[in-house]
Amino acid sequence: MNHRTALYPLHIEWGAKVVPFAGWDMPLHYGSQIAEHHAVRRCAGLFDVSHMAVVDISGADARPFLRQLLANDVAKLEHPGQALYSCMLNEAAGIIDDLIAYLRPGGRYRLVMNAGNRAGDLAWLRIRAASFEVRIRARGNLAILALQGPDAEKILIQVLDTPLGVAGAKLAPFHGVWKGEWLIARTGYTGEDGFELILPNAAAVELATDLHDAGVIPVGLGARDTLRLEAALNLHGSDMDESLNPLETGLGWTVAWEPEEREFIGRDALGASREHGAAWRRAGLVLDGPGIPRGGQLVHFVDGSQGVVTSGGFSPTLAKGIALARIPADCAGADTMEIEIRGRRVAAHRIRPPFVARGAGLQGAEVVA
């Protein structure tokens, strides 16, 4: 039987179509995925992402442990509430998972990782922690709400009219504020401004109800995927996995190479890829004609080279088919190509991701009604 978040009764009350996802019963949509997508781009929407894995790391060696575990460097986090995005690599530099690491008061840390990788991630953490004095605690008693969209700040202050809510609204991106078990962070997975709130399950039900009563519409997994695709945010298992390293997936910017003496897991293999050149590159593609690209479809170049779509779909904002693709490094300069969709090739052109940011289409694309 799948797990259910604390908000599951609200999903039923709000008319969600519930589907199994990564071992959880989660809302796919509440009637119209397109309407939910546009709401986030134009005003605000509320996501229940409590299925994500929340893990607290504490102990005398918490900092050196995470400096070895992650490709990014938690030494950059100087004040409680600061956060960074990182990949967690295996020895061959393959991406086990991507995550956000937060610095907590008292030199402790919190990791938020993907739901589908929960068991494997926890096993990996515990194996690698064997030589460190650390405590690893999975937090199943916490929920995560994501309030995303251009009106998110205004709504947060309106609904959470407390010192914590006011402090949260003033945060810079990738910063958070703590109060007991509550964390408000200016992070998200949509390309819009917004907040992720990690809080006890009972408090999450009350807050979600208050936000809904204030007119914020709930948003399901369907719109979450189209929003993240427009924002060109990688999805683990599609755009990255253990067979690929950060340099091959557009995530080289997340690797902290300095200081040179920091020996993080996968550094040697990743350094070799950096020196010799990665075989693959990530590309953003926009269809020139009708069609919807999907993961696994081939990308054809004039010289006969081939790539593959890793994530694709219809962009509600641009009213076009868009895709993230893995292409040969030798084709990184090509501007045009074809995507093979259901036995026919559809012309496409390459753009620099993201496709959409803060509600507006890039590269001269028109935002549609």
Indicate whether 11 pLDDT > 60. Answer: yes
12 has which bridge partners?
A: none
Structural tokens at position 331: 């084709």
Which domains are assigned to the chain? 1-276 (3.30.1360.120), 279-369 (2.40.30.110)
**Mean pLDDT (whole number) for 139-162:** 97
- Model pLDDT for residues 29-76, shown as the tens digit of each residue: 999 999 999 999 999 999 999 999 999 999 999 999 999 999 999 999
Quickly state the pLDDT bin for 170 (edges 50, 70, 90).
Answer: very high
Find the angle CA(117)-CA(240)-CA(62) to the nearest 5 degrees: 50
- Contact between residue 287 and residue 346 where contact means Cβ atoms under 8 Å apart: yes
- 122 contacts: CB under 8 Å, gap ≥ 6: 53, 55, 136, 138
**Mean pLDDT (whole number) for 113-119:** 96
- Model pLDDT for residues 359-368, shown as the tens digit of each residue: 766 544 433 3
Q: How many CB atoms lie within 10 A of CB 292?
A: 18
Q: From 72, 66, 97, 105, select the one nearest 240 (Cα to Cα).
A: 97
**Mean pLDDT (whole number) for 332-355:** 95
